[in-house]
């Protein structure tokens, strides 16, 4: 197997481990700060979901050899933009202490995780030549996707924690 066939998977794996270790090292402080502070630390990484727009730029992704259509790339792009917008709203609701903040954080995180699974779980294993990713595609797959996965899992954990620290 040539290195270009698995280079992105190695990058994804290292980034996933790195973000998980980073989160785990911050976990005690985030829990001590309370659920809202925990969410405010985790949601912003999803502001960058607009990077899904790169799927539609000519020359950035060429996923046709991997069996993905323009329609599927549009679906990835639309899902990511939706999740980025939901992240902005969820963060604003948490920041303002809205009574809808936890419910909306659940909506954002469920939609975001489903979008992640739709894109990452189908695209990443289907890429057998990292050259088709281009520089932005490589960045999305080997840096942003792992950060988003760790964040989604951590947000589910924070949402399942009922304890809220009072100032």
Structure confidence by residue, pLDDT tens digits, 31-63: 999 999 999 999 999 999 887 777 667 666 666
Structure confidence by residue, pLDDT tens digits, 127-160: 766 666 666 777 788 888 899 999 999 999 999 9
Domain segments of the chain: what residues?
A: 3-160
Dihedral angle, C-alpha 108, 112, 113, 114, nearest 10 °: 110
How far apart are the C-alpha atoms of 39 and 3, rounded to whole Å?
38
Average pLDDT in the chain? 85
């Amino acid at each position: 197997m040539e290195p270009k066939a698995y280079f992105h998977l190695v990058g994804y794996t290292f980034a996933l481990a790195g973000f998980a270790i980073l989160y785990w090292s911050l976990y005690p402080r985030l829990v001590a700060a309370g659920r809202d502070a925990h969410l405010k630390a985790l949601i912003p990484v999803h502001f960058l979901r607009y990077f899904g727009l790169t799927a539609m730029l000519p020359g950035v992704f060429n996923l046709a050899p991997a069996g993905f259509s323009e329609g599927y790339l549009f679906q990835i792009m639309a899902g990511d933009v939706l999740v980025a917008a939901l992240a902005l709203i969820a963060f604003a609701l948490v920041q303002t202490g809205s009574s809808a903040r936890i419910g909306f954080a659940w909506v954002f995180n469920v939609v975001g995780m489903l979008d992640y699974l739709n894109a990452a779980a189908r695209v990443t294993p289907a890429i057998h030549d990292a050259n088709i990713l281009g520089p932005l595609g490589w960045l999305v797959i080997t840096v942003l996707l792992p950060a988003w996965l760790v964040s989604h899992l951590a947000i589910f954990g924070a949402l399942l924690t009922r304890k809220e620290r009072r100032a």
